[in-house]
Chains A and B, each alone.
Chain A
């Protein structure tokens, strides 16, 4: 039994990769899967904060790659879900701390330990860390914001996914690509100030697996160290829930794409 490997990537930084990795991993665990989520951003560890386990990091990904700790010692069990584990990035400044062989060894180890899914949280950019995060992937979640530089970068990443991965090199069939549109603001889309879902799909030639509305709950969730998917009162949390279901093959319609209807006073006085 081999684990399905999902890379969460984007090219551009600050679009919501780590937020997405945390919610995707948590959502898969909530669906009963055994999940590990790995922070590939060597030197800039952050997934631990978003997952709320920053004070429990003893060993990290690089320690395991270098044989200084076992996988078992380095995996941090999630407080809320018994079947969810976090592997933190190292804070070392050595960019070459990760190697392709080392990453493969860790991923194979997770498969042997019976993990169903491994979520790889990629660093920004297209350098070595991002390359290693995507290289072994079976699925890719490409996180994109409705904004010109993010859309352009994600097209670049889609190109790399179809050429610079193990599946592409071996001709094992294409990596499954999922486009996730985050920080979507339906009011601004309606006003013609922001690219719409349809615009982004047309430009990139790929349909979205989910649309996460811009929401203050995302910041609140990261402040608290609780993945936003656990906030069932927020549209962002619910949209992540839908997205995970779609990654698992369920058919769910997109929600929260329309600007809320304005009331009488708002229509008269604006705002």
Chain B
């Protein structure tokens, strides 16, 4: 690093951000791959229903199809938003 580099504004190293974003999206797309075609629609329709009761966005809904010797398990998880203060929806 040269002494004159102090004069330049150093860019934020961005490769780390790229790697993290890719790790997440690639994992997500791999889990969706080979699953039934109705999963994306199921996900958005479920979102509509859940939204009636609690405000979540699409990212909060995770649907996985697990294949286990001979049978498939549809796994659904919904991350509820943290509620400030008293009551917590369960």
Contact = CB atoms under 8 A, between A and B. Distances in A.
> A and B, one complex?
yes
A155 B29 contact: yes
Contacts of A20: none
A202 B13 CA distance: 19
Contacts of B33: 159
B13 A195 contact: no
Contacts of A270: 1-2, 4-5, 8
Q: How large is the interface on B (under 10, 10 to 19, 20 to 34, 35 or more residues)?
A: 20 to 34
B2 A156 contact: no
Contacts of A195: 15, 18-19, 22
Given A151-B22, A269-B2, A156 B15 contact: no
Contacts of A148: 18, 21-22
Interface string B23-65: 1011001100110000000000000000000000000000000
23 contacts: A148-B18, A148-B21, A151-B22, A152-B25, A156-B29, A159-B30, A159-B33, A163-B34, A191-B13, A193-B13, A193-B15, A195-B18, A199-B18, A204-B26, A267-B1, A267-B2, A268-B2, A269-B2, A269-B4, A270-B4, A270-B5, A270-B8, A271-B2
